[in-house]
Structure 1
Amino acid sequence: MVTTLKASTRILELANEFPFLFDTLVEISPKLKRLRNPILQKTIGRRATLTDVSKMAKVPLNRLFILLSESISKNANETVVIDKDAKEQGEWQEELERRQRKLKDLVLGLHAGEEVEGLQSEFKEILVDISATEIAEMEQSLISSGELTAQQVTSLCDLHVQVFKESLDVQQKPETTPGHPIHTYMNENKEAQRLINVLKDNPDDSTIEELKKIVIHYTRLQNQLFPLLEKAGITGPSTVMWAKQDEIREMINNLNESNLNELLIAIEEMIYKEENILFPMSLENLSEYDWVKVRTGEEEIGYAWITPGLDWKPISPIDIHQVDQEPESPRINLNTGSLTLKEIDLLLRHLPLDISFVGIDEEVKYYSATDNRIFPRSPAVIGRSVINCHPSKSYDKVQKIMTYFKEGKKDKAIFWIQMKGRFFLISYYAVRDDDGEFVGTLEATQDITEVRSLEGEQRLLDWE
């Protein structure tokens, strides 16, 4: 019998015919271990080709052909023919591009006011097996190309989901091990749905207060999961979902009897988007080590209702390469005086304000991990574009500050806001070296509620 390998060969079909290939794939690259995941086999594995596998493993396609053919010949004693026809590969790439163009045409039709039912009928061919990643790529492409702004995509994202709903409904929802971040997110969603169901029958104040904890869930997504997606090159979906989550926050802040039902619907729709688009897409695109990084910073932000399980036991580089405890660092000579790294770290964490430093490349380099940060931060923010650390409605303002600082037009920007009965001062400062060259931006946030109320003088110690 003869097996033919092509660029468009679907990996799951091949691996189901030759189950030993799952072990071969992991030997080729540990990143391919994810293809064993039953949920991914129903999403990315269902459509993933050898071209996709080549990209995931960062292995040349020709090399992948050879390794797979050797494994099949050895373990199944079968002849393998490698079809490296450039024409066939080109046709497959054209098919992928055609699907993306069709998806974009569909969404642009929505924004032009066309009816959902008519678009579903017109584009039925591609809607049959649409994946979460394809939807994400389409939204990101529309934003990157300038065909739609992030605000425009956000404004009609509920309609986008309505168009894709029939296809998304038949796909299995992610199933992960207790302790995995997706498992925790989904358990929080279950509790949120339970509270929503209670409020639909009996809108009592205590249950409403409990539901407000959903904000913690959104904060963790924005600070833990979204930065990792951005590093994987996926920015569109997180931009849109952040904006929708901020709309929910605004509803919670202005909640009254008349808009309670609107809030419940918005949270339910967000649950659907997370579990049918965001989570499957994230599992397809993030590595096991990425999920370790997501999990590592979760405690700093906290959980809504749920305590994560302990069953998930990921392997991280730390497990593989055990690092001896570093000796105490020497003193570092500063402009005035000298400190150890430990002393510097403790000093910055004990400042009566929160600080962050953004480098000249506009990426977050540092934040002070104070005990009671005003705006939550976690290690996943390091290396993240400062633009993506803010809601999309603030993009222009943040970019203007960065540009003016770099060009030397301004040296500081000051804002103040009131939130939950407190008064906060938010300051941005251009950091320049002794020659006046711009090296980055310092952001400082301080609760000045008590400071604003001071009068007269206090010269004596008053600890009584």
Structure 2
Amino acid sequence: MSEFINNRELQSTNHTDRLAILRQIFKDLYNGKNIKEVKAHFDAFIGKVTVEEISQLKHEEMLDNDLPVEEIQRLYSLHTEIFRDSIEETPRTKHPEDEPGHPVHTFILENKEIDKLIKTKVQAHFEQFIQDDSEENVYQLLEDCNLLLDIDKHYSRKENLIFPYLEKYGIYGPTNNMWRIDDFIRDSIKEAKQKLTNYDGDKQAVAGVVSFIIQEVVNMIYREENILFPMALQNLTEDEWVKIARESDEIGFCLTGPAGEWKPERNEISEKSISDGYIKMETGLLSLKQLELLLNHLPVDITFIDQDDVVRYFSHGKERIFARTKAVIGRTVQNCHPPRSVHVVEELLADFKAGRKEHEDFYIKFRDKYVYIRYFAVRDESGEYVGTLEFTQNIDPIQAINGEKRILS
């Protein structure tokens, strides 16, 4: 293996040495070393690993982003296999996750429903499909995939509410690793649905993607409940959990909902009311209240990112196209996007900063909307770049316009 692993004296290692051994273990997996051999070294020299140690590992540093998707999936599965049954429980005096309505309590309730869906429906219907790919069995599996699509809400809350706070404490592993796997799962569910909707008799193609879904959804439940949630409970404050609970409705819940309203014993959050002060601008004078109401009544979604790529503001209209939560404020925009699309964001921002572009437009079909997304470089009077404005609008109603309208409805 490496010089770390070969030294028997490291069985009584300090924290730094243990992290070095763990990093080497993951490099060995990356380089194709046999999982049984690597696991044996892990058991011999690490034994039990703490959530704190896992939080300090950055697996993404050991993975080449140009690796094929299948290889990345394989490595993440091996990471989970290494940690399985080897994570020490973190001693805590309080267990707020046991209280109905606490975000982690709700996540775990959802995981129970997801696990039940996998084991009582998806697995059973998949086995029936393998034996007989009749129209009825295809339809049953398709219905299961439709139910599983709800998992997007569970993953979105995790990515948009928990990950930003972990990043605040310098913990980036889950953001990069779990988000990638979440995306693999989302894509696979959509792929399975598409193959079953247009089933052409290719049983093996369906079997491959459904098998992956079953395995990875179950693995993700393990990762969340044994790594992510303990890690978050160890680092986040009560006030931060209250904010997460309050903003969860914005995204929604998966297969079930909170078992109650969580009311912590001590809640010192003091939400400052908007000041009655006024802002004098070149073309007018508005109170802060008027300004916020004005921005929130625009028929578009606006987000502003400063010169350091940090999200500073988003409008909060009645019908947002993409979910935003207050947890994104103060977060770098790169960490607000799925890892697979970060390179597009970074390339666009680099063009804005260098003055190569002033704006860029995208347009996509999103659910029942045709979404027009525009990015503008914001510059001061001297032409210096001060940030980027994101402008998002549902243009379906605009495209449907024809003729003229000259009177009130």
- TM-score norm. by structure 1 comes to 0.72
**Does residue 1:407 correspond to 2:354, yes or no?**
yes
Q: Distance in 2 between matches of 1:295 and 1:129?
A: 32
Q: Distance in 2 between matches of 1:390 and 1:405?
A: 18
- Amino acid across the alignment from 1:366: Y
Alignment of 1:29-178 (within 5 A): 95-138=14-57, 140=58, 142-143=59-60, 146-149=61-64, 154-155=72-73, 156-168=75-87, 175-178=97-100
**Does residue 1:194 correspond to 2:116, yes or no?**
yes
- Between Structure 1 and Structure 2, whose CA radius of gyration is higher? 1
Q: Distance in 1 between matches of 2:145 and 2:110?
A: 15
**Does residue 1:291 correspond to 2:241, yes or no?**
yes
Q: Distance in 2 between matches of 1:262 and 1:123?
A: 26
1:133 and 1:277 in contact (8 A); partners too: no
1:127 and 1:167 in contact (8 A); partners too: no
2:51 and 2:90 in contact (8 A); partners too: no
Q: Deviations over 1:143-185 (max 9, x none)?
A: 4xx4434676953111111112131498899853222111111
- TM-score norm. by structure 2 comes to 0.81
Q: Distance in 1 between matches of 2:182 and 2:175?
A: 10
**Does residue 1:180 correspond to 2:102, yes or no?**
yes
2:180 and 2:338 in contact (8 A); partners too: yes
1:358 and 1:442 in contact (8 A); partners too: yes
In the TM superposition, residue 459 of structure 1 has moved relative to its aligned partner by: 3.1
1:331 to 278, 294, 313: 278
Q: Unpaired segments of 5 or more residues in structure 2?
A: 1-9, 126-139, 197-205
- Other structure's SS at 1:374 match: coil
- Identical aligned residues as a percent: 35
Change (3 A) 1:311 1:446: closer
Change (3 A) 1:312 1:297: same
1:150 and 1:240 in contact (8 A); partners too: no
2:377 and 2:389 in contact (8 A); partners too: yes
2:307 and 2:388 in contact (8 A); partners too: yes
Q: Deviations over 1:10-54 (max 9, x none)?
A: xxxxxxxxxxxxxxxxxxxxxxxxxxxxxxxxxxxxxxxxxxxxx
Partner of 1:458: 404
2:187 to 246, 250, 256: 250
Measured on the aligned residues, the alpha-carbon RMSD in Å equals 2.8
Q: Unpaired segments of 5 or more residues in structure 1?
A: 1-90
Partner of 1:260: 210
Q: Distance in 1 between matches of 2:44 and 2:212?
A: 34
Q: Distance in 2 between matches of 1:170 and 1:402?
A: 42
Change (3 A) 1:204 1:117: closer
Change (3 A) 1:335 1:303: same
Aligned length: 364
In the TM superposition, residue 261 of structure 1 has moved relative to its aligned partner by: 3.8
